[in-house]
Structure 1
């Protein structure tokens, strides 16, 4: 059984085009990974064309940074491969976020959108964490969904702070 996740970022001072431009900017992505990506974080690929954009990341999390439920299946830590895609749709953008936890039966999948709201933009995402493990899968899903939600919240804060820093200096 999958556990749902949801996330929202309100960027009152940015248009959808401006928010999208930040989210696919290589400098922003590298800075975000440096601050929040964990051990061995790296931007593996970044492509963009008329059809949209695609970014692939690798995050590393040591076993000490994992919830107890995950340490039993990943005593040496984990590596997470994450892909984000975006394409224009109407006045905004739609996308996907997919992550696979290497060497575990854990996956995270979400759909995302950037829409105009008031005088700014809103990024919304909804998805699910799935861990295919007999007996303990639900417990691990809960732990992973809490970690993913905390990371996405931290990324939202980082994004708003990044934009504010760039505008002020």
Structure 2
């Protein structure tokens, strides 16, 4: 059974400003460079921003020794996560997109959708995630672990976005 989670990042900036930040390769490059303090290798594999929207493909390697014991029972090597983020063309009402994450030889799936929309105080980027692990007996524990770590990641990315926009806009 898949588990779902919604996370909302609130920004004191207009939605268009958040969208414009994410539409630059530098935004993603600097975010991945910042994550290298936690993981030995983080990189932007692909980035496009055009009339159809934006897409970033990110790859992050986490050493097996950094994984919780329950994850080490399933993964026998370093965990390589490939994530694809996309947002459609900017829409002043609501800009929609999606994201996926996969782990090489991983025992499950992670997918979600995101919506960027204006609020009275700026804007919100809401991400709704669905995870599914296909390992009997420990699936629910791994799914919960993934969601908890994903919230931490989304918080860190929201803090990064606020700081990046404040410095670069």
Q: TM-score, normalised by structure 2?
A: 0.91
TM alignment of 1:17-32, pairs within 5 A: 17-32=16-31
Q: How far 1:90 moved relative to its partner?
A: 4.9
Unaligned runs of 5+ residues in structure 2 are none
Q: Alignment partner of 1:113: what SS?
A: strand
Aligned to 1:41, the other structure's residue is in SS state strand
Q: String of CA shifts for 1:14-38, please: whole Å, max 9, x gaps.
A: 2111101112321110111111252
* Kept in 1: contact 2:3–2:143 (CA 8 A): yes
Residue number in structure 1 paired with 2:110: 108
Matched, 1:58 2:38: no
Counterparts of 1:119-130 in structure 2 under 5 Å?
A: 119-130=121-132
Match of residue 5 from structure 2: 5
2:32 aligns with 33
**Deviation string, structure 1 residues 86-142 (Cα, Å, up to 9, x no partner):** 113452311001101111122211110110101411111112111111111111111
Map 1:72-111 to 2 at 5 A: 72-88=73-89, 89-111=91-113
2:4–2:129: 8 Å Cα contact kept in structure 1?
yes
> Following TM superposition, by how much is the alpha carbon of 1:39 offset from its aligned partner in structure 2, in angstroms?
2.2
Q: Which runs of 5+ in 1 are unaligned?
A: none
Residues in 2 aligned to 1:143 and 1:155: alpha-carbon distance in whole angstroms: 18
Q: Distance in 1 between matches of 2:160 and 2:49?
A: 23
TM-score, normalised relative to structure 1: 0.91
* Other-structure match for 1:155: 157
Does 1:141 find its partner at 2:143? yes
Separation in 1 of the partners of 2:53 and 2:102? 22
> SS in structure 2 opposite 1:127?
strand
Contact in 2 for aligned 1:16/1:120 (Cα 8 Å): yes
Aligned to 2:166: 164
Count of paired positions? 166
Q: Could you tell me how far apart the structure 2 residues matched to 1:97 and 1:126 are?
A: 9
Conserved? CA contact 1:115–1:121, under 8 Å: yes
- Give the match's secondary structure for 1:161: helix
What is the Cα deviation at residue 41 of structure 1?
0.9
